[in-house]
Structure 1
Amino acid sequence: MKIKLLIILFFISFLGKCQEITVFYKEKRKPAQVSTKESFDTDEISDYYREQFAKIKEAIKSGVSKDSIMLIREELEKEGERISARISEREKNKKPLTIPYYDYITVLRINKEKSLYYPQNEVSNDTVSHSRTNKKGRELVDERINYNDSEIIYLDTSKKKKISSLKVHKFDYKGRKFLIEETLEPQEWELTNKVKKIDQYICYKAILKNTDKKVEAWYTNKIKASYGPKGYYGLPGLILELKEGEKIVSFDKVSLFPSEPIIINPPNEGEKITREELENLSTKIFNEY
């Protein structure tokens, strides 16, 4: 019994003093931008025009009057419009391709006064294809590309430095990476008495005050690491769950006993710009096109 008590006391003491931690988070996301290319079934109208033009040629060869040919052409145009309308109606009523959520897994690595937040896997732009067959057996393919945002955030609280490497697809069709170096601004939190349990940890709710966005965090003071996902920091414990607007980043697991030292280096990939330039980039890129 005494041995178990000593182990528990040691573990609690370690949680209060640990300096090197790796935390995994998960988030349900939809692509930031979707590009869809559809194959339209035009066989029906093509075949109709081909048949009618053949009839006109035969009528001309047989010496039919010009007035009769004009009537044939007028009927051809009317029937072509009717076929086009039927195709348009079918396309309008066609069930659209669904855009599913995907699991976005992120990692937070902490070493004393530094942290690095990044995707667990390289974020890719997924191509989803859907095949269908028309009445004549011709295969048509609807294609959709899901463009996913990614971000790497480095914090150094001792030097009040923040460096972000990010890719924003919602307005940048070129898929470029941007690198932003800025001063780490203090985050003012309102601590509340609201409590809930996340995994094995008792967590308390905090609300970020100095922001235009609605940001809520659930932190545990059992792990003395003043960091969290998406570059949030400054609470008296590790953030296990974050709600930013309608988006929720949830705790997955934590590693408190690293097998080797955690070395944290800032990201260095991307075109260097300022935060203000990034916010105005959508207008700039729109003018480029």
Structure 2
Amino acid sequence: MKSILLKISILVFALLIPKTENLNNTPQDFQGVAYYFSKSTMDLGRWGARFSEAQKKQIMDRMKGRLEKTYILTFNKEESMFYEEEQLDAISGATDSWGKNFTAGKSYKNVKSNTQIQSQEFYGKRFLVKDKLQEITWEMGSETKQIGNYTCFKATAKVPSNELTWYSFSWDKLRTAENVEQSGEQQEVKMTEVEAWYTLQIPVGHGPSEYWGLPGLILEVSAGNTTMLCSKIIMNPEERTEIEAPNKGEEITKIAYQNTIAKKMQEFRDNRGRRRR
């Protein structure tokens, strides 16, 4: 009799335990899709001092397509694919062809093999940038906050600024490199402070853009003048998307890609200068 009562008690206790989603025990083919919205601020600096507040607002409205973007992250336990949803420019009704040369292409990451493969197009030429994942030393905090239905924990890090936007270009960056080369001095490494919020409810090491390596999916990240926030998550969608690494283009490393862009932009500048003479 005691044996029967004991078995019944164990069964009732087991039924009362809430079932939680444990991705460590799910099949390898599970999949999730996270949607992110990013917003950046733009500092007009000294150049903006000559404009009225109305003119500044007009500039910001025209730049909205570049300052506010939406992204999709598709992931499984080991792999992820991150890319920007292409949008039409509100003014011209076309895509931003100039800006497209300096924005991130489709990025495949594999946290198990420590691999990143990103498709980049620069003035009609396609590149396949293959490298290791961005090294990030996270400092884990105990602070929490709620993002949608998920409890998130805070983590912070400092990452070299150039490595977060290796696919981009700025004239300031080129001028600094030239000044360093002429002076022979070592270039100062500028660092960007990163604040991320991740959830243990989805225990995968993925995140948007260059960010990864936390014990849960990163739902929000702020770095420099940009904040990226997850707006929706779909776990195990009915229609699965094959996560495949890009495979077309000239293979190149991140550093080599940066050098290629800088060299080409320097040629543009020099040719324009010669035409003006």
- TM interval, shorter chain, is 0.5 to 0.7
Shift of 1:217: 0.7
Cα distance, 1:6–1:155 mapped onto 2, change above 3 Å: farther
Whether contact under 8 Å (1:28, 1:101) holds in the other structure is: no
Q: Identify the residue that residue 130 of structure 2 maps to in structure 1.
A: 181
Whether contact under 8 Å (1:216, 1:243) holds in the other structure is: yes
Cα distance, 1:127–1:105 mapped onto 2, change above 3 Å: closer
Whether contact under 8 Å (2:109, 2:133) holds in the other structure is: yes
Whether contact under 8 Å (2:38, 2:227) holds in the other structure is: yes
Cα distance, 1:6–1:22 mapped onto 2, change above 3 Å: farther
Cα distance, 1:272–1:203 mapped onto 2, change above 3 Å: same
Is 1:252 the counterpart of 2:201 in the alignment? no
Cα distance, 1:222–1:145 mapped onto 2, change above 3 Å: closer
Is 1:115 the counterpart of 2:93 in the alignment? no
**Letter of the 2:31 counterpart:** E
Q: Identify the residue that residue 38 of structure 2 maps to in structure 1.
A: 27
1-structure distance, mates of 2:16, 2:111: 32
Cα distance, 1:160–1:15 mapped onto 2, change above 3 Å: closer
2-structure distance, mates of 1:269, 1:200: 39
Shift of 1:207: 1.0
Cα distance, 1:253–1:159 mapped onto 2, change above 3 Å: same
Give 3-state SS (helix, strand or coil) of 2:131's partner.
strand
Give 3-state SS (helix, strand or coil) of 1:151's partner.
coil
Give 3-state SS (helix, strand or coil) of 1:280's partner.
helix
Cα distance, 1:164–1:145 mapped onto 2, change above 3 Å: closer
**Letter of the 1:13 counterpart:** E
Shift of 1:224: 1.0
Whether contact under 8 Å (1:127, 1:146) holds in the other structure is: no
Give 3-state SS (helix, strand or coil) of 2:192's partner.
coil
Q: Percent identity among equivalent residues?
A: 31
Q: Mark the runs of 5 or more structure 2 residues left unpaired by the alignment.
A: 1-13, 43-50, 161-190, 269-277
2-structure distance, mates of 1:145, 1:164: 19
Q: Identify the residue that residue 21 of structure 2 maps to in structure 1.
A: 13
RMSD of equivalent CA atoms = 3.4
2-structure distance, mates of 1:155, 1:250: 19
Cα distance, 1:160–1:16 mapped onto 2, change above 3 Å: closer
Alignment partner of 1:163 out of 99, 117, 133: 117
Q: Identify the residue that residue 156 of structure 2 maps to in structure 1.
A: 207
Shift of 1:261: 4.0
Is 1:285 the counterpart of 2:270 in the alignment? no
Whether contact under 8 Å (1:127, 1:145) holds in the other structure is: no
Q: Mark the runs of 5 or more structure 1 residues left unpaired by the alignment.
A: 32-91, 130-143
Shift of 1:128: 2.8
Is 1:235 the counterpart of 2:214 in the alignment? yes
* TM-score computed with the length of structure 1 as normaliser: 0.60
Whether contact under 8 Å (2:41, 2:226) holds in the other structure is: no
2-structure distance, mates of 1:157, 1:226: 7
Shift of 1:20: 1.7
Shift of 1:166: 3.0
Q: Identify the residue that residue 140 of structure 2 maps to in structure 1.
A: 191
Shift of 1:17: 4.7
* TM-score computed with the length of structure 2 as normaliser: 0.62
**Letter of the 2:63 counterpart:** P
**Letter of the 1:220 counterpart:** T
Encode CA deviations 1:29-59: one digit per residue, 9 max, x unaligned. Answer: 589xxxxxxxxxxxxxxxxxxxxxxxxxxxx
Cα distance, 1:145–1:275 mapped onto 2, change above 3 Å: closer
Shift of 1:165: 1.6
Whether contact under 8 Å (2:137, 2:157) holds in the other structure is: yes
1-structure distance, mates of 2:82, 2:115: 14
Give 3-state SS (helix, strand or coil) of 1:229's partner.
coil
Whether contact under 8 Å (2:21, 2:201) holds in the other structure is: no
Cα distance, 1:110–1:8 mapped onto 2, change above 3 Å: farther
Shift of 1:272: 3.0
Aligned residue runs from structure 1 range 80-95, under 5 A? none
1-structure distance, mates of 2:218, 2:196: 6
Which protein is richer in strand relative to its size?
A: 1
Whether contact under 8 Å (1:228, 1:238) holds in the other structure is: yes
